[in-house]
Homo-oligomer: A and B are copies of this chain.
């Protein structure tokens, strides 16, 4: 295995495809994940056990995990609640992710809970997962802004993250869900997490490119000491020309930056670009990744 300086946590099959209008066939998802692994992505979040009413794009979650075979069980899967955990446990998944909110409004809209109540909801999920030997990642969404509340107080974000960590999450993925954050605010929040006793090796960052800031923010986080970066192959998860453009940071653009910095990602860029070009064909639209466009 390649020696890596940073870990790219690939979210294309889950966060990418759940935000695409097209529903990708199961066979193509299997191929996509296998090609991402073959391209050297060390972690590939495979799917989400969310109810298909909400995310029909991922309605085949259980089938997908089964189709991926024994190797597939090591891919993280998102579980929204205990019912999702039950399905992940039945299938033998070894790694789950939960999706918390840093703001009151998004907690109510996305979780149907208050900011405080979300912890009571996540507690049995995390406890049972940990008791069964699973690793738990916690997403913290809306860390740098919320469409309803605007800027989010740093202390509030840190408090939410700390409580999810104290429940038993081994990693926090700090998400700029609507992509409004900028490089200075990235450092400010990371400093506050460090001050609260959470070192950079517990923290991951998850940037969306809605305002074109994702890569600059990732650079700021890397300068700060963060070494785990969420990204989506080909920038899957929202066309830049769509009105509600909320595309993820493209994995290729991140790999290009790290290559220039002499930072080893372990990723074979050519193999990754070829994978994203192929997936763009499946989706029937060009990849929004600049590197994919330039190299293909």
Contacts and interface: CB of A to CB of B under 8 A. Distances in A.
Contacts of A19: none
A105 to B, nearest CB: 19
Contacts of A210: 290, 294
Closest 9 CB pairs between A and B?
A182-B260, A212-B290, A212-B253, A216-B216, A184-B261, A216-B219, A215-B216, A182-B257, A211-B256
Contact of A253 (B184, B213, B261): B213
Interface string A279-296: 000000010111101100
B212 A213 contact: no
A209 interface: yes
Given A212-B253, A215-B216, A216-B215, A293 B259 contact: no
A148 interface: no
A8 to B, nearest CB: 15
A66 B30 CA distance: 62
A259 B210 CA distance: 16
Contacts of A216: 215-216, 218-219, 257
Nearest to A184: B261
A54 interface: no
Contact of A257 (B183, B209, B260): B183
A288 B240 CA distance: 8
A202 B259 CA distance: 29
Interface string A201-213: 0000000011111
Nearest to A286: B241
A240 to B, nearest CB: 6
A211 B286 contact: no
B219 A256 contact: no
A150 to B, nearest CB: 13
Given A216-B257, A286-B241, A294 B182 contact: no
Contacts of A181: 260
Contacts of A243: 293
Interface in A58-109: none
A220 B250 CA distance: 20
A262 interface: yes
Contacts of A23: none
A218 B212 CA distance: 12
A242 to B, nearest CB: 8
Contacts of A286: 241
Contacts of A184: 260-262
